[in-house]
Amino acid sequence: MGTILESARAGRVTREMEIVAEKEGLTPGDVREGIVDGTIVVAAGNGRQEMAVGIGKGLRTKVNASIGTSSDMLDLEMELEKARVAESSGADTLMELSTAGDLDEIRRAILAAVTFPVGSVPLYQASSEARACFGSSSLMTDELLFEVIEKQARDGIGFMAIHCGINRLSVGALHKQGGRDGGLVSRGGAFMISWMSAQGRENPLFEQFDRLLEILRQYDVVLSLGNGMRAGAISDATDRAQIQELLINTELAERARDAGVQAMLEGPGHIPIDQIEANVVLQKSLSRGKPFYMLGPITTDIAPGYDHITAAIGSAWAAAFGTDFICYVTPSEHLGLPFADDVRDGVMAARIAAHVGDMVKLGRRDRDLEMGIARRDLDWEKQYSLSLDPARARSIRELRPGSDSDTCSMCGDQCALQVSTTCEDD
């Protein structure tokens, strides 16, 4: 039958396309056409077709939650709890980014625990295994790297962030500009640059790109072209190294599609508000409208502990301007590995941002109109049902006096809505 992209080009509607169409309120033909022209990708995973999620033009902005172990915090049960919390809080996808422990066991357990697409960064596992096997991640072999990619694809990973755009050209741009104020913050980008320096070689993910595509095509994995040069400080946003990598990634995305592999591009992390639109427009223009996956963006560097808010501000703007997929940021960003409560807060902040963006991008304001009417009518059950988080809305009201009345404790017997209704009656 071929990949989802190959089926779409042949005029066939697959089960994945039908699932996406039903979720989005579109026809399967609409989804198929978006896949054909490259503005929509459908992520699922080997053996996980029923979990398909669509990302791209005309679709609701999707939210990703990232979890994973580290050398300081290795607790599979905690990661499983975080995965379940991400799904129950309304995330659309999950990225499993573990770097410590039995990485195969962790990945497979998480895949079994959730019912939505899961992504990964294979370079993390390859780096960890090289360190364990050879004593240094800089001794990673090409064979190890591609074996990890195939193993993860076979297990059911639906989309992979792969740092193909880190090559001699983009690294040269970074050196020529004198580095970064905030340093190089992408783990995948930093690892690959270090590996290239130690080996004196080109990035094998770039050099052997066709080999990579053969694996992704075999298991129908969406290629998410990683942003290894993303800025980790506002002052580094939209610099030459980032743009050079973007140019390389847009060309690689075309090669991927020529090989029957769906592709999307990843975007930068720390961006001041006045540069968000330019970043989205540039990516969409250069890539011919391919789906854009953005981390945040974080809009100020001075709010540790509240970076889910700084990112929600940026994500709302980014989604409004056309970003299709946003990766959440939790309150623990820049401070430590998130706990389950951090995951929940990050997902909810990102979902709010995505909805605010879709109110502009897709013109979807019906739900807000319904909420306005429900508030006017003091219809509390309707307000709860329309909320992004009904349980939280209900609990906040019920923990305060007056929850058994029509009004709330903010105004009590001086409720503006009741006063205005009385005036209208008179």
Domain chopping of the chain, boundaries: 60-361, 380-425
- Report pLDDT digits (tens) over 410-425: 877 777 787 776 555 5
Q: What is the pLDDT of residues 316-370, one digit of tens each?
A: 999 999 999 999 999 999 999 999 999 999 999 999 999 999 999 999 999 999 9
Q: Which pLDDT does position 406 carry in this prediction? A: 79
Q: Identify the pLDDT of residue 125.
A: 98
Among candidate residues 108, 88, 87, 85, the one with its CA nearest the CA of residue 96:
108
What mean pLDDT do residues 60-72 have? Answer: 97
The pLDDT of 29-39, averaged and rounded, is 98
Q: Is residue 45 a contact partner of residue 118, using CB atoms and an 8 Å limit? A: yes
The per-residue pLDDT for 413 is 77
pLDDT confidence of residue 274: 98
Q: Work out the average pLDDT over 399-409.
A: 81
Radius of gyration of the chain (CA): 23
* 288-305 pLDDT tens trace: 999 999 998 999 999 999
Sequence-ordered alpha helix ranges (H) in 204-321: 204-207, 209-219, 240-258, 273-287, 307-321
**Whole-Å CA distances, 200 to 40, 125, 135, 151, 288:** 38, 22, 18, 27, 34
Give the pLDDT score at 424: 56
pLDDT digits 0-9 by tens, 236-262 = 999 999 999 999 999 999 999 999 999
CB 186 within 8 A of CB 230: yes
What confidence score (pLDDT) does residue 275 get? 98
Note the pLDDT of residue 259.
98
**Percent of the chain clearing pLDDT 70 (strictly above):** 98
- 67-84 per-position pLDDT tens digit: 999 999 999 999 999 999
- pLDDT greater than 80 at residue 15: yes
Tell me the C-alpha distance between 160 and 193, whole Å: 19
Tokens standing for residue 72: 């300081």
CATH topology of domain 60-361: TIM Barrel (3.20.20)
Q: Is 423 exposed, middle or buried (0-12, 13-18, 19+ CB in 10 A)?
A: exposed
- Following DSSP, what letter does each residue of 342-380 receive, concatenated? HHHHHHHHHHHHHHHHHHHHT---HHHHHHHHHHHTT-H
- The helix (run of H) or strand (run of E) holding residue 326 is strand 325-327
Residue 357's pLDDT is: 98
Average pLDDT along the chain: 96
pLDDT given for residue 367 in this prediction: 97
pLDDT at 412: 75
b/e 366-399 (16+ beta carbons within 10 angstroms → b): eeeeebeebeeebbbeebbebeebeeebbeeeee
Say yes or no to pLDDT of 196 above 90.
Answer: yes
- What pLDDT, on a 0 to 100 scale, did the predictor assign at position 173? 96
Name the DSSP class of 266.
E
Q: Which of 26, 34, 31 lies closest to 14, judged by CA?
A: 31
Q: Residue 222: name the closest of 295, 131, 161 by CA.
A: 161
Question: H or E stretch including 20?
Answer: helix 15-24
* pLDDT for res 401: 86
Residues 378-390, mean pLDDT to the nearest whole number: 96
Instruction: Give pLDDT, residue 421.
Output: 63
pLDDT in the model for residue 121? 98
* For helices 240-258 and 273-287, angle between their N-to-C axes, nearest 10 degrees: 30
